[in-house]
């Protein structure tokens, strides 16, 4: 019997049973009706025999497939969400080289090589109303020329740290505290005299600590710091220089304290594509000893970026400190006849070198 016919017979049987049940309820007294007890029919399942497949086509496999599980290493490590960092870090090394060589040069000259290395480390923290900027700058330069010993061309250690707090997130002004520290690595000489150093490590050394306010607009590499209360300490830890009263200390003393007003300004701007201007200015005047006489420390650098690793730069550095005297006149017994006068100091460099950030 075919499947459609079986299905129709099943439906007919179900309908017949239902009708008999209804008639039984209407005429309980009629004995000629078929007696069917009351029952509840929820589901009728009709099953038919499944026939086996007699003819199996060639190439058909009725067995359950075998699943082979093979693990492979990930080509790339999974990335996990990391919390937002409020620190901005920068590490940079530059090396400028200058070389001059002569072979049978009629005009004369001596072979020479100059090298100038710079290391800059910056750490900047910014969260909500708080900022903390720190920078360490190290520089050292040497010159080697045929027929004479190595000479130092540049040398400094500079550290600056500024902590700021503002009352709301829209203000450009911060209440700030600032610390500056400056000194040098090795002895300085007035060449060709190499017997008597005119400066050493921590002779001089400068420490400035004060509080004030900073103007720092959002999204710009510009800050202006004004401090009406800044303590300046000048250290001369070399005995000979201390006895000479160098760098403003009293003869025999190793520390000279000042209290005054400090203004600093840092600004960096991209003038043209891959041409950057970097400007640093520091002005300080002492309230007690010589108010109105301003110490100046001004650096300006023009950077030409060739590619990621090569850059050229032109820099100028101007210094004026009333406590640093020149043209001192002394007698044969060492007595100072004329302490000398302060002068403007200026240094200019031009270099092409390598740059590496890490």
Tokens at residue 182, please? 């400056």
For the residues 134-139, what does the mean pLDDT come to?
Answer: 97
For 31-86, the pLDDT digits (tens) are 444 444 445 555 666 666 666 666 666 666 666 666 666 666 666 666 666 677 89
For the residues 262-288, what does the mean pLDDT come to?
Answer: 95
Cα-flanking dihedrals φ and ψ of residue 22, to 5°?
Answer: -70, -40
Three-state secondary structure call for residue 98: strand
Mean pLDDT of the chain: 85
Worst-scoring range by mean pLDDT, 124-128, 257-261, 276-280? 124-128
Does the pLDDT of residue 190 top 50, yes or no? yes
CB 44 within 8 A of CB 14: yes
Report the percent of the chain where pLDDT is more than 70: 77
Going by pLDDT thresholds of 50, 70 and 90, the confidence category of residue 14 is low
Neighbours of 180 (CB within 10 A): 21
Pairing of strands 112-127, 275-286: unpaired
Report the alpha-carbon distance of residue 38 to residue 40 in Å, rounded. Answer: 7
For the residues 195-200, what does the mean pLDDT come to?
Answer: 93
Report the alpha-carbon distance of residue 284 to residue 232 in Å, rounded. Answer: 9
Nearest to 122 by CA among 156, 172, 87: 87
Report the alpha-carbon distance of residue 203 to residue 196 in Å, rounded. Answer: 13
What's the pLDDT at 348? Answer: 92
What's the pLDDT at 35? Answer: 47
The DSSP H or E segment spanning 234 is strand 222-235
Nearest to 144 by CA among 117, 118, 116, 114: 114
Going by pLDDT thresholds of 50, 70 and 90, the confidence category of residue 12 is low
Report the alpha-carbon distance of residue 267 to residue 300 in Å, rounded. Answer: 10
Longest dimension (CA), the chain: 157
Worst-scoring range by mean pLDDT, 15-19, 98-102, 122-126, 317-321? 15-19
Report the percent of the chain where pLDDT is more than 90: 57
CB 311 within 8 A of CB 95: no
């Amino acid at each position: 019997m075919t499947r459609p016919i079986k299905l129709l017979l099943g439906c007919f049987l179900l309908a017949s049973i239902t009708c008999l049940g209804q008639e039984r309820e209407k005429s309980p007294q009629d004995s000629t009706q078929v007696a069917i007890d009351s029952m509840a029919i929820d589901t009728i399942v009709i099953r038919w025999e499944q026939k086996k497949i007699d003819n199996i086509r060639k190439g058909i496999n009725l067995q359950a497939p075998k699943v082979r599980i093979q693990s492979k290493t990930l080509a790339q490590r999974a990335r996990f969400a990391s919390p937002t960092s409020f620190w901005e870090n920068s590490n940079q090394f530059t090396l400028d080289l200058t070389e001059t060589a002569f072979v049978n040069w009629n005009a004369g000259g001596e072979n020479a090589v100059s090298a100038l290395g710079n290391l800059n480390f910056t750490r900047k923290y910014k969260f909500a109303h708080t900022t903390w900027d720190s920078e360490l700058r190290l520089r050292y330069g040497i010159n080697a020329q045929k027929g004479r010993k190595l000479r130092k061309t540049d040398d400094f250690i500079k550290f600056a740290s500024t902590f700021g707090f503002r009352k709301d997130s829209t203000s450009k002004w911060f209440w700030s505290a600032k610390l500056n520290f400056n000194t040098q690595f090795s002895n300085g000489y007035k060449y060709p005299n190499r017997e008597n150093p005119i400066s050493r490590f921590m002779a001089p050394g400068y420490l400035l600590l004060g509080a004030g306010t900073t103007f720092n607009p959002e999204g710009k590499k510009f800050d202006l710091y004004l401090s009406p209360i800044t303590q300046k300490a000048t250290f001369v830890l070399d005995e000979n220089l201390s006895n000479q009263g160098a760098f403003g200390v009293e003869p025999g003393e190793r520390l000279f304290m000042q209290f005054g007003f400090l203004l600093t300004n840092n600004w960096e701007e991209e003038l043209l594509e891959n041409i950057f201007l970097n400007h640093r200015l520091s002005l300080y005047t002492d309230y007690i000893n010589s108010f109105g006489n301003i110490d100046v420390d001004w650096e300006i650098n023009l950077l030409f970026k060739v590619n990621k690793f090569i850059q050229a730069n032109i820099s100028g550095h101007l210094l004026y400190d009333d406590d640093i005297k020149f043209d001192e006149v002394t007698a044969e017994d060492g007595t100072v006849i004329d302490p000398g006068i302060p002068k403007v100091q200026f240094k200019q460099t031009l270099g092409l070198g390598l740059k590496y950030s890490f």
